[in-house]
Amino acid sequence: EDLRQLDDTAIDSVVHLGAVTGGCTERDAMQVNVEGSRVLMRYAIDRGCEKFVMASSIAAVGMQSVNFRPNEVPILDEHPCLDRDGYGWSKFLMEEVTKYYSRQNPGIDVINLRLSSVVPDDKPPPLREVAPPRQWGLGSLTIVALSDAIRAFRSAAESPCVPGVRVLNAAGPKAWVKDPVAEILRNWWADDVDLSHFESLDHQYDSVYDVRQIKQALGFEAQHLPG
């Protein structure tokens, strides 16, 4: 019913940021993040919209739990969902909704940005050091400044239309850490995950999420880096 207020407005692109965030109930996550996204896309597609930029999350992989173990690191853009708490699952299912509508409407362009933790430009958090594992741990290592996040969404919205669905990690190229990434992650995961990528001098402080695809697809690279 709310979307009907837009019936007289031409819509050629949608940037979808509406969501409930981490810590929500499973029910709210399903109703808002999944069903809300479905309703919005259905309405906009029926109006002829062909460009969708959707706010997914690095939490779609399930990193919220201290028991999370990624299949590999750096974590690839379409790493499967291993979530346990509902929020990450809802973001993953939102991505699946976009793929469903793309199969129905092969001409639409969908970019799902797996957004990392966003902080004010002038209030960055302290760099993380070796410490015991905690919930949402990777979120504290994977940070972008607000201006960089806005630029990522703008780059996606203004990019040439490419039919299909893309899932892109929207994170900085460097982890938000003081200690080497391998030391922090080994303290959390022991030998459960291969950390060899981070053990060479050139990669000790790389992002835990692979960001090569967003740079290639959109020319985006975060400018506010730890230091």
pLDDT tens track for 40-62? 999 999 999 999 999 999 999 99
Q: Angle formed by the axes of helices 87-104 and 37-46, to 10°?
A: 20
Q: Which residue has the higher pLDDT, 23 or 191?
A: 191
Whether residue 97 has pLDDT greater than 90: yes
User: Which pTM does this prediction carry?
Assistant: 0.96
pLDDT tens track for 103-150? 999 999 999 999 999 999 999 999 999 999 999 999 999 999 999 999
Q: What is the pLDDT of residue 196?
A: 97
Question: Quick one: what percent of the chain has pLDDT higher than 70?
Answer: 100
Place of tokens 């919930």: 135
Alpha-carbon gap, residue 156 to 169, rounded angstroms: 12
Q: What is the pLDDT of residue 121?
A: 96
Q: What is the pLDDT of residue 147?
A: 98
DSSP 52-114: EEEEEEGGGG-TTSTT---SSSSBPTTPPP--SSSHHHHHHHHHHHHHHHHHH-TT-EEEEEE
Indicate the pLDDT class of residue 96, thresholds 50, 70 and 90: very high
Nearest to 91 by CA among 51, 128, 127, 64: 64
